[in-house]
Amino acid sequence: MTSSPPAAFSQAKSTAAFEAARRRMPGGVNSPARAFGAVGGTPLFIERANGPWLFDIDGNQLIDYIGSWGPMILGHAHPVVMEAVQQAASRGTSFGAPTEGESELAELIVDMVPSIEKLRLVNSGTEATMSAIRLARGATGRDKVIKFAGNYHGHVDSLLVAAGSAAATLGVPDSPGVTAGTSQDTVILEHNDLPAIQSAFAQFDGEIAAVILEPIVGNMGCVPPEPGYLQAVRELCSQHGSILIFDEVMTGFRVAAGGAQQLYGITPDLTTLGKIVGGGLPVGVYGGRTDLMDQVLPAGKVFQAGTLSGNPLATAAGIATLKMLRDEPPYQTLDQLGQQLGDGLSRAAARAGIEHQVQRVGSMLTLFFNSQPVRNWTDADRCDRQRFADYFWGMIRHGVYMPCSQFEALFFSATHTPELIEQTIDVAADVLAAL
Ligand code: KE4
């Protein structure tokens, strides 16, 4: 069955809105991922969303596979979340003083992610990773941090680094404004490469404060860990007295109630969270062992602060979301839908004679335009970016909103149905056949 011909797909209003936005905001957006830079054209300006649906200002209705880049696992405008936020707002929006909602959210997180004994709420994933790195350096008295190419941890200066010369594994600035002094303590390695991390620990023995990684990478597209890799990294950190930080901003509460660390049975020393934990409002979290977290001001000496940290509206949305995920976990259904989608996209690409890989964990998935499996950034960098862009625009014109970059994972929600997944597959079959 092929997809129905698209209703007239118009972008007249989004085009005008984008022009206006670019007059006042760099690139017309407040985060570059939204600017469609990787696929070209004009981004859609969204008017509202509900369940699996996005509605843009031109009246286009689209099946949403971004989910706000991860947070909307229960679907947009979930009535329980909306009610919780409206109730909180009726009592005021921010007090700059402690509230019981912060403790309620903290208890839920500790209950769902056992490696987290204590935590600090912040306002974004970036703040969470920045703070976790500072804590690891403060706790160990060491300077160097190991990160991996293709892993993204937010716009933290010390983590906005690219691989330096092949010999040195020390990072070099990957953005103007990041100084050599900042990036010189960042060691950047190939992901899923155990010998590389073993030699880095040998080369910088006693100097590594922390290793930070996405346990399932979403930021080069979906790249699961090689068998045994996470356990080996865990053992290396333990042997060398380095802090293992799992950046679960994307995977936390996404791939399991307890995130990737539950799925793979690994206990990190610190975990960072974001996205789902705020139910679509700004919440980031860093947390882990009590002996580490008690070194954070005012319990300890590692400084970190935030005016809106633990904001009552954001904690209300997070509490409502996590309670639903804890009490009625959607993960089995999400995995079945993911299998249906992944198989269908692969069949459609194969029928169209297109070299591809589908890589998935639960409800995060990527269709790579690549003849080989993607294990690391070197592999990912070989993807056919133009073919992805053509696929993206074909899908969006047929009412399916995929992530606007080959190097992002798609996400879907508990409100997506087998019928919507089938509709998506039908559209993909037509679009891929026409490439
Ligand atoms: P935020 O500062 O954007 O809340 O979180 C940064 C971050 C940290 N760690 C991981 C694993 C992440 O995926 C992110 C942010 N993810 C991107 C999309 N892959 C957010 C989209 C955007 O930047 O607009």
Q: Where do the structural domains in the chain lie, given as residue ranges?
A: 12-64+330-434, 79-327
- Output the residue whose Cα is nearest ligand 1's atom 15: 154
Identify which of 121, 159, 247, 250 to mutate to test ligand 1's pocket (most ligand atoms within 8 A of the CB). 250
pLDDT band at 8 (very low <50, low <70, confident <90, very high): confident
Q: pLDDT tens, 66-103?
A: 999 999 999 999 999 999 999 999 999 999 999 999 99
Mean pLDDT of all residues in 37-54: 97
- Atom number, ligand 1, closest to the C-alpha of residue 125: 5
Q: pLDDT tens, 196-219?
A: 999 999 999 999 999 999 999 999
Q: pLDDT tens, 395-416?
A: 999 999 999 999 999 999 999 9
- The pLDDT of residue 174: 86
Residue 6 has pLDDT above 70, yes or no: no
387-411: b or e for each residue (b if 16 or more CB lie within 10 Å)? bbbbbbbbbbbbbbbbbbbbbbbbb
Q: Which phi and psi angles does 175 have, rounded to 5°?
A: -155, 140
Residue 295 has pLDDT above 70, yes or no: yes
Residue 163 has pLDDT above 80, yes or no: no
Identify which of 219, 251, 253 to mutate to test ligand 1's pocket (most ligand atoms within 8 A of the CB). 219
Asked if 324 and 153 count as a contact pair (C-beta separation under 8 A), the reply is: no
Identify which of 147, 152, 175, 272 to mutate to test ligand 1's pocket (most ligand atoms within 8 A of the CB). 152
- Output the residue whose Cα is nearest ligand 1's atom 22: 33
- The pLDDT of residue 164: 60
- The pLDDT of residue 172: 74
pLDDT band at 1 (very low <50, low <70, confident <90, very high): very low
Residue type, 392: F
**Out of 179-188, 288-297, 318-327, 402-411, least confident range:** 179-188
Share of the chain above pLDDT 70, in %: 97
Mean pLDDT of all residues in 371-385: 97
Q: Which phi and psi angles does 332 have, rounded to 5°?
A: -65, -45
User: What is the average pLDDT score of the chain?
Assistant: 95
The pTM (predicted TM-score) of the whole model is 0.97
- Output the residue whose Cα is nearest ligand 1's atom 8: 153
Residue 350 has pLDDT above 90, yes or no: yes
Mean pLDDT of all residues in 152-157: 95
Asked if 320 and 280 count as a contact pair (C-beta separation under 8 A), the reply is: no
Query: What is the CB < 6 Å shell around ligand 1?
Result: 31, 33, 69, 124-126, 129, 152-154, 214, 218-219, 247, 249-250, 274, 408
395 Cβ contact list (under 8 Å, min separation 6): 401, 402, 427, 428, 431
- Atom number, ligand 1, closest to the C-alpha of residue 214: 11
**Cα–Cα distance between 74 and 319 in angstroms, integer?**
13
Residue type, 129: T
**Cα–Cα distance between 220 and 376 in angstroms, integer?**
8
- The pLDDT of residue 169: 65
**Cα–Cα distance between 146 and 26 in angstroms, integer?**
31
Residue 165 has pLDDT above 60, yes or no: no
Task: Give, rounded to a whole angstrom, the gap between the first and last alpha carbons of the chain.
Answer: 18
- Atom number, ligand 1, closest to the C-alpha of residue 31: 24
In CATH, the architecture of 12-64+330-434 is: Alpha-Beta Complex (3.90)
Catalytic residues, by residue number, are 152, 247, 275
* CA proximity to 432, closest of 346, 357, 361, 359: 346
Assign residue 372 a region (left: φ > 0; alpha: ψ between -120 and 50; beta: otherwise). Answer: beta
- Output the residue whose Cα is nearest ligand 1's atom 6: 154
Distance 31 CA to ligand 1 centre (A): 10
- For residue 360, what are its two tokens? 């998935």
- The pLDDT of residue 171: 74
**Cα–Cα distance between 112 and 108 in angstroms, integer?**
6
**Cα–Cα distance between 400 and 392 in angstroms, integer?**
9
CA dihedral sign of residues 316, 322, 327, 328: positive
| Fold held by 79-327 | Aspartate Aminotransferase; domain 2 (3.40.640)
Mean pLDDT of all residues in 418-427: 98
Assign residue 292 a region (left: φ > 0; alpha: ψ between -120 and 50; beta: otherwise). Answer: alpha
- Atom number, ligand 1, closest to the C-alpha of residue 248: 11
